[in-house]
Amino acid sequence: MATTSHVHTKTTLPSPRKIRSFVRRAGRITRAQHQALETNWHRFGIDAENGPLDFDKIFARHAQRYLEIGFGMGDGLLEMAQTNPHHDYLGIEVHEPGLGRLVHGLAKRNITNVRVIRGDATEVLATAITPHSLNGVFLYFPDSWPKKRHHKRRIVQPDFVARVCTRLVPSGRFELATDWEEYAIYMLQVLEAEPQLRNLAGPGCFAPRPPHRPLTKFERRGEKLGHPIRDLVFARV
């Protein structure tokens, strides 16, 4: 009499898909931008995949350090670096045209106090930026993800804000700006709920634009559409 054997196989469940705060857009990269990445990435680019970064070694000096998350095409970061040569700046971006344009601008102007990181800001903050190493973090005009079902994609979430706080020195500033009113209110609520932060404009208040924050094309576009520009300036307590 034939017997039937049952083989039990282990079912591997797919790992949950990570929610990203950005979409990799296949934007057109110009020849100059591509050339800049090919020839000057070794001067200005940082590989953030090998663990914590030593900024004193990278910049060959000790100075105040500021990080801009999602610098777009890099115009604002270039302006801040040129205006404040005694400060060091880091920029994180995922889109190749922006990376290429910034590196091109740094090489053309021979700006030495900026380094560029290609990658997801949440991952870079977690693995490459050491605690208490930044004097300021700038998040200007992040994607607002206006549809309610996409709110989970917004980069400003309680866990992200708490992580930023750990990377700031005491009294280090976390500055944000947006032209999307509902997102501004949401960000204000999230930041004021973080016990490590203090609203420098006062509880429940937005701040005037900091004089060091450059005007961006996103800001000008928002103003043309009649969107109020909201700035938030918080300090680590």
pLDDT digits (tens, 9 = 90+) for 62-107: 999 999 999 999 999 999 999 999 999 999 999 999 999 999 999 9
DSSP at 69: E
User: How far apart are the C-alpha atoms of 34 and 101, rounded to whole Å?
Assistant: 9
Yes or no: say if 68 and 140 are a contact pair by the CB < 8 Å rule. Answer: yes
Amino acid letter, 146: P
Active site (annotated) includes residue 54 = no
User: What integer pLDDT is reported at residue 25 of this predicted model?
Assistant: 52
User: How far apart are the C-alpha atoms of 184 and 71, rounded to whole Å?
Assistant: 19
Domain 66-236: CATH class, spelled out: alpha beta
Domain ranges of the chain: 66-236
User: How far apart are the C-alpha atoms of 44 and 208, rounded to whole Å?
Assistant: 32
- Provide, rounded to the nearest whole percent, the portion of the chain with pLDDT above 90: 75
The model's pTM: 0.86
Radius of gyration of the chain (CA): 21
- Return the structure tokens found at 181: 């009113």
The per-type count for the chain, helices as H runs and strands as E runs, is 8, 8
Amino acid letter, 204: G
Q: At what angle do helices 158-167 and 181-192 cross, to 10 degrees?
A: 60
**From 75, 120, 143, 231, active-site residue:** 143
- Strand 230-236 relative to strand 197-199, pairing: antiparallel
Q: How many angstroms separate the Cα of 101 from the Cα of each of 8, 12, 86, 149? A: 55, 43, 23, 33
pLDDT at 20 over 80: no
Q: Which residue matches tokens 């979409």?
A: 23
